[in-house]
Structure 1
Amino acid sequence: MRKKAKAVPEWLNSPLWSTPPLASTPADPFGTDFSPPPAPSPKPSPSVPPPPMREQAVDSYAGRGGEIREEDGAGAALRAHLLADFKAALSKKVVNMGELRRLACLGVPDGGGTDVRPLVWKLLLGYLPTERSLWPYELEKKRSQYSAYKDEFLLNPSEKLRRIEESKLSRKKELTGERNGLLPRSEVTNEEHPLSFGKSSLWNQYFQESEILEQIDRDVKRTHPDKSFFSAKSNQESLRRILIIFSRLYPSVRYVQGLNEVLAPLFYVLKNDLDTSNSTSAEADTFFCFVELISGFKNNYCKHLDNSRVGIRSILSKLSQLLKKHDEELWRHMEVITKVYPQYYAFRWITLLLTMEFSFNVCIHIWDAMLGDPEGPPDTLLRICCAMLILVRKRLLVGDFTANIQLLQHYPQTNIDHLLHIANRLRGTMPS
């Protein structure tokens, strides 16, 4: 006897959670502006509670990239109230992270001459401790450490060898008491020769990494070319230095193509801190925040772990299981009937943390919720990915392989209120 398919939760069938088919080609996901689609005419089912009004107002504000209009009176008032809550939470001697996470999930307000997001993200990522009195010490220590990293990892071999030789000569003078006289002629050892193939040769290591450096250069130049911020030479150099230092400091991950896209939102937010003492040190702060962020996803970027139970294939399998648990009808159509497996569309979603699927401003707002969620960024990201499928389920259920691949690889503009609300409904159901 044929097994009956698992019933679809009633709330999934509400028109509130289904994006209607678009008559035209979906907008470019790199668009700089975002306007939520008009509310559907049918009223939602009584069993489906709409997103909180406060959340709607904040999301609508953030979705437009910070633009405030006169008709947004209610939204502006709620935004001001939320901003006051953030300031109160951040002004405490010891920041209550539970409260801060709750506020971040509502959306971090910005604009209006005040922007708390840089500080909020630093706390959510664990870059800053919860005790305010420790912030100056931690910032000074980390920024000094980053300066040392630049000296260690960014100098070319000839400059490194010159400094090593000067250090040796200085120590020799201190020991022998020499103060004047001609500088001794130093001999170039085999390991220090530019043509040396020795494993410990600085030159050999430098040439072996040249391919990675070239890839970083190419990717940095391609980072959001439509935004003048990322076209600025100084900002490109900052991104380049961060990625080079990261690749050398963490050889298990090194540099994977696309990490520039993950780095971009962090650097943009921290560099635009209204506090100049922080914005001038944004490169150092961004580096450590980037390390904290990637640490939660590092297994996704390690090729040798791809087929392990912690690698990217396992993560894609979890997404499949999550969809099956909440919408077996959609899962069956996707993976059994049309053979549209997660690796065809969700690999980019997960490894690039949705930075290529939504406009830049909307992505930052999604990251507010992802970083603030108490379940942690990795699980929250999977819930958001599953919600993305559920939100367009009606279009997917009538689509074939080609249509569904095109839809998911060029995800349509959608209401981020709805997306995050659905993701929230999936909380606590992550496959083990």
Structure 2
Amino acid sequence: MLLKGKLKLPENIIPPFPDRSKPPDKKQQKDECEDEREDKELQTFQVGSVQGRPEAERWMGDGDQIWPSSEGSALRRPHRAIKVDIGNDNSMEKRSELEFELSQEVINLEAVQSIACCGHLDGEFRSIVWKLLLGYLPAERDLWEEELLKNRLRYAELKRELLVNPSKILVEDELLNSSRQCQENDAGGLLSRHGISNGDHPLCLGNGSIWNQYFKDTEIVEQIDQDLRRTHQDISFFTGDSSIGRENLEAMRNILLLFAKLNPAIGYVQGMNEVLAPLYYVFRMNPDGEDASEVEADSFQCFVRILSGSVDHFCEQLDNSSVGIHSTLLRFSELLKEHDEELWRHLDNTKMNPQFYAFRWITLLLTQEFQFSSIMRIWDCLLSDPAGVQDMLLRICCAMLLCVRRDLLCGDFISNLKLLQHYPEADLEHLLDVAHHLSIASSY
């Protein structure tokens, strides 16, 4: 199956949500999130402009959060991180609610979305919830075992078929031929010589040669390995300093190489390793203790699914098309203009093209801009948004600008470029709160 003529997806993909052709109704999800924010004593606000002045101007500055009152005047609150406390009554209630939803014969995906969106996932539940939200697991619990087995067997077949090591094949063939020759000798036959076909010889570089394909794969593997060595070097999980770390890197290499071979029009593009990392980490650290080969198979299937919505951004030939990265950056710019024209105009006047900073934000799904633990929290929101990953992604990117607007309005091209390419530590829950309040219709 080809997506948009390019991306080869695993068979029998189940859409994560029942009907995405209809405009999503986010009222229930927003209500629950807003109830939770009220418990944290935060005042909500209306996005828009008052007498031509955007509300974004009074949002988040250096060390402060600024929220408008009902009369339109600004209320200043001390800057503080908002953390979800498992010991908190509301968090325990949400945890119990999530356990209940996941125990049902048919899981209510909308309820799971709402809980995930508000920040109530942890290591125990995140793996299974992400698989549900990505459509890798169906809503019917009794189908899980069958679906997992089918997809894992399919992945094993793809590895055997496409991740070929000619030396290993030749050794296996040699052992097989030796066994046959011994049987012939025992039967009184003459000694025979085993010939090597042209396709089996390392010096044969014809299109049908397994060695030719192996050498091409080696070039891709070298690029993948180079990128994997730079993946979250501060986390031992992703380093080759231990046997488990080396096992993790090998599994990620297999996933990225297999994706490249299944989709030669796209191949492997630098940065795909960063998109894979959160998925593989979450699945590998699942307390259920799944086998490493099962984690690898699940990660591949979900990697393809999450990349399916942004694969055009990795294809340079489509950069200027309606589905390419330039079109997405334009939508991002229009979203900012609608919600804060003053900031948009300042960035435009200083020639701060979104391509200089937001290209990486969008293509890599914000995996380079925040601490690893924050990335997983952000992905909870990306995957749980009813309108899809790309819509929520643009709103979070826009919120990132709004949350540092004071610095941006005071800055020139150089200072703003440095700020946005090295985004400062932020109050993540406040940033996500701002993103959720941006108009969903503005993203399209």
For 2:385 and 2:268, locate their aligned partners in 1 and report how far apart those are by CA, in whole Å: 27
Contact 2:395 2:443 in 1 (8 A): no
Q: Do the aligned partners of residues 126 and 166 (structure 1) sit closer, same or farther apart at CA in structure 2, a change above 3 Å counting?
A: farther
* Aligned ranges 1:123-202 → 2 under 5 Å: 123-160=132-169, 185-202=193-210
Deviation at 1:6, TM superposition (A): 10
User: What does residue 364 of structure 2 align with?
Assistant: 352
Pick one of 101, 105, 109 that aligns with 1:97.
Answer: 109
Contact 1:6 1:328 in 2 (8 A): no
Contact 2:391 2:440 in 1 (8 A): no
Is 1:79 equivalent to 2:103 in the alignment?
no
For 2:291 and 2:72, locate their aligned partners in 1 and report how far apart those are by CA, in whole Å: 44
User: What does residue 60 of structure 1 align with?
Assistant: 83
Contact 1:273 1:279 in 2 (8 A): no
RMSD: 3.1
Question: Structure 2: which amino acid aligns with 1:334?
Answer: L
User: What does residue 287 of structure 1 align with?
Assistant: 300
Pick one of 63, 84, 88 that aligns with 2:100.
Answer: 88
Contact 1:270 1:279 in 2 (8 A): no
Q: Do the aligned partners of residues 246 and 43 (structure 1) sit closer, same or farther apart at CA in structure 2, a change above 3 Å counting?
A: closer
Deviation at 1:164, TM superposition (A): 7.0
For 1:125 and 1:180, locate their aligned partners in 2 and report how far apart those are by CA, in whole Å: 61
For 1:407 and 1:277, locate their aligned partners in 2 and report how far apart those are by CA, in whole Å: 41
User: What does residue 204 of structure 1 align with?
Assistant: 212
Q: Do the aligned partners of residues 354 and 48 (structure 1) sit closer, same or farther apart at CA in structure 2, a change above 3 Å counting?
A: farther
For 2:166 and 2:71, locate their aligned partners in 1 and report how far apart those are by CA, in whole Å: 66
For 1:277 and 1:193, locate their aligned partners in 2 and report how far apart those are by CA, in whole Å: 40
For 1:6 and 1:199, locate their aligned partners in 2 and report how far apart those are by CA, in whole Å: 66
Report SS of the residue matched to 1:199. coil
Question: Structure 2: which amino acid aligns with 1:123?
Answer: L
Contact 1:300 1:351 in 2 (8 A): yes
Report SS of the residue matched to 1:322. helix
User: What does residue 420 of structure 2 align with?
Assistant: 408
Q: Do the aligned partners of residues 48 and 255 (structure 1) sit closer, same or farther apart at CA in structure 2, a change above 3 Å counting?
A: farther
* Aligned ranges 1:7-406 → 2 under 5 Å: 10-14=54-58, 17-20=59-62, 40=65, 44-46=68-70, 60-61=83-84, 76-110=88-122, 115-160=124-169, 185-231=193-239, 232-277=245-290, 281-335=294-348, 337-406=349-418
For 1:180 and 1:374, locate their aligned partners in 2 and report how far apart those are by CA, in whole Å: 72
Deviation at 1:200, TM superposition (A): 2.2
> Normalized against structure 1, the TM-score is what?
0.81
Q: Deviations over 1:97-150 (max 9, x none)?
A: 112111111113326xxx111000000011111110000111111111222222
The answer to which of 317-326 and 184-193 deviates more is 184-193
For 1:415 and 1:86, locate their aligned partners in 2 and report how far apart those are by CA, in whole Å: 25
> Normalized against structure 2, the TM-score is what?
0.79
For 2:388 and 2:54, locate their aligned partners in 1 and report how far apart those are by CA, in whole Å: 28
Deviation at 1:290, TM superposition (A): 0.6
**Structure 2: stretches of 5+ with no match in the other structure:** 1-48, 75-79, 240-244
Report SS of the residue matched to 1:195. coil
Q: Do the aligned partners of residues 192 and 48 (structure 1) sit closer, same or farther apart at CA in structure 2, a change above 3 Å counting?
A: farther
For 2:102 and 2:138, locate their aligned partners in 1 and report how far apart those are by CA, in whole Å: 12
State the aligned residue count.
384
Contact 2:391 2:443 in 1 (8 A): no
* Aligned ranges 1:412-423 → 2 under 5 Å: 412-423=424-435
Question: Structure 2: which amino acid aligns with 1:362?
Answer: S
Q: Percent identity, aligned pairs only?
A: 47
For 1:183 and 1:299, locate their aligned partners in 2 and report how far apart those are by CA, in whole Å: 58
**Structure 1: stretches of 5+ with no match in the other structure:** 21-36, 51-55, 62-67
Contact 2:113 2:385 in 1 (8 A): yes
Greater relative CO, 1 or 2 (CA 8 Å, sep 6+) = 1
Higher strand share: 2
Question: Structure 1: which amino acid aligns with 2:57?
Answer: N
Contact 1:322 1:431 in 2 (8 A): yes
